[in-house]
């Protein structure tokens, strides 16, 4: 069974199309109009082993918020859709990822119950054209739309680019573990993750 999803989102602020293949090779084609966001989404795909396509046309003339948020909504919904009833998945995943002086930890539970706990202490307002507050917002929105408990903590770091990238790398590897196949059963004593 192929675990893929195609999602389209159109609002008065953005038009986004997305394709996700969980059992991919880490290939991405991302064009959001925000270079740093493209870099983080490419990182997510590469280190998660996901094939990801995202094309966004948003009101970046206003600012980055709507594009960042709605990309997270599309990708989160794609994860949720591609997982189906979540039977046969490992469900839990965790990873640590360094980038030079920065070290981040990500822990994920594909429980069907969204809960984001994101702690990355950024020191500047933006990285490229993406506000650091919107990086946090992206991760929270991804967890909510993907219906996952997601904990990301920066353990140490100085450079904000490194902090963000280590967080996305840790997230990618944690998701790779959580979506991996581990049998046929739904991994829950409740008998459902939906």
Distance CA 2, CA 120 (A): 34
Where in the sequence is the domain holding 74, given as residue range(s)? 4-179
CATH number of the structural domain spanning residue 62: 3.30.230.40
What is the predicted pLDDT for the residue at 67? 97
89-122 per-position pLDDT tens digit? 999 999 999 999 999 999 999 999 999 999 999 9
Q: Does 126 reside within a domain? A: yes
Q: What residues are paired with 89 via a beta bridge?
A: 181
Q: Is the dihedral of CA 76, 3, 17, 130 positive or negative?
A: positive
Number of separate domains in the chain: 1
pLDDT at 190 over 90: no
CA distances from 35 to 32, 57, 64, 113, 165 (A): 7, 13, 11, 31, 13
* Global pTM value: 0.95
What is the predicted pLDDT for the residue at 186? 77
165-184 per-position pLDDT tens digit? 999 999 999 999 999 998 88
CA–centroid distance for 65 within its chain: 16
């Amino acid at each position: 069974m192929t675990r893929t999803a195609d999602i389209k989102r159109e609002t008065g602020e953005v038009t986004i199309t997305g394709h996700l293949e969980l059992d991919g090779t880490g290939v991405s084609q991302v064009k959001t109009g925000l270079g740093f966001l493209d870099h983080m989404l490419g990182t997510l795909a590469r280190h998660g082993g996901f094939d990801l396509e995202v094309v966004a046309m948003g009101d970046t003339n206003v600012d980055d918020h709507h594009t960042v948020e709605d990309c997270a909504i599309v990708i989160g919904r794609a994860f949720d859709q591609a997982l189906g009833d979540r039977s046969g998945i490992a469900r839990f995943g965790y990873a640590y990822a360094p980038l030079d002086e920065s070290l981040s930890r990500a822990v994920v539970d594909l429980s069907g119950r969204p809960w984001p706990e994101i702690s990355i202490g950024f020191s500047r307002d933006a990285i490229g054209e993406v506000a650091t507050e919107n990086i946090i917002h992206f991760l929270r929105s991804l967890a909510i739309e993907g219906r996952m408990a997601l904990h990301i903590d920066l353990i140490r770091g100085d450079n904000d680019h490194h902090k963000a990238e280590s967080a996305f790398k840790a997230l990618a590897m944690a998701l790779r573990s959580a979506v991996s196949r581990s049998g046929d059963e739904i991994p829950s004593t409740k008998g459902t993750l939906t």
